Amino acid sequence: MTTAAVLLAAGGGTRFRGVAHKLLTDLQGRPVYEHALAAAQGAGLDEVVVVVGAVPLELPAGVTVLRNNRWAEGQATSVHIAVEHAAGAGHDAVVVGLADQPFVESEAWRAVAAADGPIVVATYDGRRGNPVRLRRDVWPLLAIDGDEGARTLMRSRPELVREVACPGDPADIDTVEDLQRWNS
């Protein structure tokens, strides 16, 4: 059984009012997205995929880059591109995380990837967050547009969901204030 780590990095970051896109801003000495990418790579899954869109990212060799030209239509379009790629690559599951969540640890990616179930979601102090593992059999059930990845499916089909307690912090960088709080 093979699993791809998928990092969603296509969005416009419209709530961030800085001089640069939020993913490119400095967080503790490097761009925000590099923290999330390092965690995804550190999980040791079979492939690391990054879905890009609104802003180009410098990505290292060995990372599969997928371009989402429909990024403005919502997160579901990025998830859809990722699962289409995973299906073509023969993966049995994807573990999806967000590039604006720099404090999710590799251990969270590994724990979610290793758990069994159609949908596995990380929890932090009992609250659901990312990453989320989606087994191949649920891919046809995912929305193909809109601004929710798998949340709609998890709400409508709770019997498919398994929660896994994970280390780290699912805080995201959505505003300049978020970034300033973590950089202080």
Domain extents for the chain? 3-11+20-183
pLDDT at 17: 79
* Those residues with Cβ within 8 angstroms of residue 151's Cβ, 6 or more apart along the chain or in another chain: none
pLDDT at 53: 94
* pTM, 2 dp: 0.94
pLDDT at 40: 98
Distance between CA 99 and CA 51 in Å, rounded? 10
Q: Is 89 helix (H, G, I), strand (E, B) or coil?
A: helix
**What is the architecture, at CATH level 2, of domain 3-11+20-183?**
Alpha-Beta Complex (3.90)
Q: Among positive and negative, which fits the CA dihedral 13, 142, 48, 159? A: positive
pLDDT in tens, the chain (184 residues): 899 999 999 988 877 877 788 999 999 999 999 999 999 999 999 999 999 999 999 999 999 999 999 999 999 999 999 999 999 999 999 999 999 999 999 999 999 999 999 999 999 999 999 999 999 999 999 988 878 778 899 999 999 999 999 999 999 988 888 888 888 7
CA atoms in the 13 A half-sphere facing the CB of 142: 29
* Those residues with Cβ within 8 angstroms of residue 93's Cβ, 6 or more apart along the chain or in another chain: 1, 2, 3, 4, 86, 113, 133, 134, 135, 136
Distance between CA 171 and CA 1 in Å, rounded? 30
